[in-house]
Amino acid sequence: MRSPWRHPARVVPFAFLVLIIAGTGLMMLPAARAEPGHAPFVTALFTAASAVCVTGLSVVDTPTYWSTFGQVLLTVLSQIGGFGIMTLATLLSMLVSRRLGLRGRLLAQAESAGLTGANLAGLLRRVAMVMLIAESAITVVLTLRFWLGYDYTFGRALWEAVFHAVQAFNNAGFALYSDSLVGFVTDPWICVTLALGVLAGSIGFPVLFELAREWRTPGCWSTHTWLTVIGSLIFTLVGFVVFLVFEWRNPGTLGPLSTSGKVLAAFTQDVMTRSGGFNSVDLGNLNSETIAVTNGLMFVGGGSASTAGGIKITTFLLLAYVIWAEIRGEPDVVIRKRRIAEETQRQAVTVALLGVALVATGTVVLDALTDGIPFDRVLFEVTSAFATVGLSTGITAGLPPSGQVVLVVLMFCGRVGTIAVGTAIALNTRRRLYRYPEERPLVG
């Protein structure tokens, strides 16, 4: 009998599917619901999938629908989902590097700053340590703020701090407030702390590990780390400026705030837009221009082997470099004096086009299942689900059960699909001993 480990790319979808099924069963327990009775199957399935896939979309009001036990389940499922995606993605990247042969393995080790030499136990300890440190730091700040600034009891302050710290670092986005973070829109202690937690989780474990060792010497960074850091800065700046420009006078979002409040809200919402799932303004009142840009930012997502979703920053920037090299007529795609392998280029194109296909198909299907919902709102919802962001303009709860199942499929595919597809392509790369005659069809 063949071992499933002969096809490691199948392990990630299977593991997440099992966890979603188990989570659905637990969320259907009567103890998980605040009111008598158990949650309907689709509601439990949607919530479990959203938590495991660290998305944050919800068809019910989290603080009132779920009991304390149910909220603890959400925390545990989000933590397991975030930890699992970081470790499994990093392990698969290690496996890929070991299948490349001696030359490719040496290059991969150089590019990952020695990460590929880590053993399984060491990797798990490092990931767990990073998560523990980050979530503990967020918890301390939030606990003190809730306790001293909002007169919460210490027990309530600690619980809400732990819940939101886990949601932030794992980029899940569930909140214990019906309006998410809208009530704290001008509070930098809450918003900035959670935004930085989201940013740390969306960078990716390999990059965090390398930055911890080489933060003073950017010239020594691997190409992957350099692309992730530069890309994160660029997309954060673009989103921040766009949000300020288009929403500055919008009475439903930034309009009523002071200048400093607008800047804070724009920064917070910008960081949350690409993966976090929290919202500090009412997204249902966003201008259409902001929604369009937000769709693009969500689709790109965060760093590889991180808790963020999307096609990933490195994928997008690699495609940009491919286009630039083609425009200039360059025979090779070169980044920081490093030639990018053709296999990597094809992998980036495949992941991006499959992402476009999923979003397009999901939008068409969901639009056909709904009536009276503007198309841009449907596209926003689908993109948020695929990119496991968790933002919504407020239409999630009103979708029919069939539409909610569509979003569940998109969350699952968006969470594990890019990793599984990318790994499968890398592991299935074969060298032919012959080549067919070349021909050039017309393009454009």
Rounded to whole angstroms, the Cα distance separating 388 from 58 reads 12
Q: Decide: 70 and 58 in contact? Cβ < 8 Å.
A: no
Q: Please provide residue 334's backbone torsions phi and psi, each rounded to the nearest 5 degrees.
A: -120, 130
- Domain ranges (residues) in the chain: 4-427
Q: Which amino acid is at 334?
A: V
Res. 433: pLDDT tops 80? no
- Residue pLDDT, tens place only, 165-175: 999 999 988 99
Q: Which pLDDT score is estimated for 105? A: 40
Q: What is the pLDDT of residues 211-255, one digit of tens each?
A: 888 888 888 888 889 999 999 999 999 999 999 999 999 999 999
Question: Reduced to 3 states, what is the DSSP secondary structure of residue 33?
Answer: strand
The burial class, CB within 10 Å (0-12 / 13-18 / 19+), for 152 is middle
Give CA–CA dist 27/21, Å, rounded.
10
Q: How many CA atoms within 13 Å lie on the side-chain side of 60?
A: 23
Mean pLDDT of 181-193: 94
Are the CB atoms for 367 and 383 separated by under 8 Å? Answer: no
Burial 371-396 (b: 16+ CB within 10 A, else e): eebeeebbbbbbbbbbbbbbbbbebb
pTM: 0.87
How many CB atoms neighbour CB 409 within 10 A? 15
Cα–Cα dist 313/148, whole Å: 39
Q: CB of 81 within 8 A of CB of 54? A: yes
How many of the other CB atoms lie within 10 Å of CB of 399? Answer: 20
Tokens of 267: 């920064």
| pLDDT tens, position by position, 121-149 | 677 788 888 889 999 999 999 999 999 99
CA–CA distance, 231 with 268 (Å, rounded to integer): 18
pLDDT tens-place string over residues 331-390: 889 998 888 888 888 888 888 998 999 999 999 999 999 988 899 999 999 999 999 998
Where do runs of H (alpha helix) occur along 150-277? 154-169, 188-203, 205-214, 223-247, 259-271
DSSP H helical segments within 172-204, as ranges? 188-203
pLDDT tens digits, one per residue of 189-212: 999 999 999 999 888 888 888 888
pLDDT digits (tens, 9 = 90+) for 341-355: 888 888 888 889 989
Q: Are 177 and 280 in contact (CB under 8 A)?
A: no
Determine the pLDDT at residue 17. 87
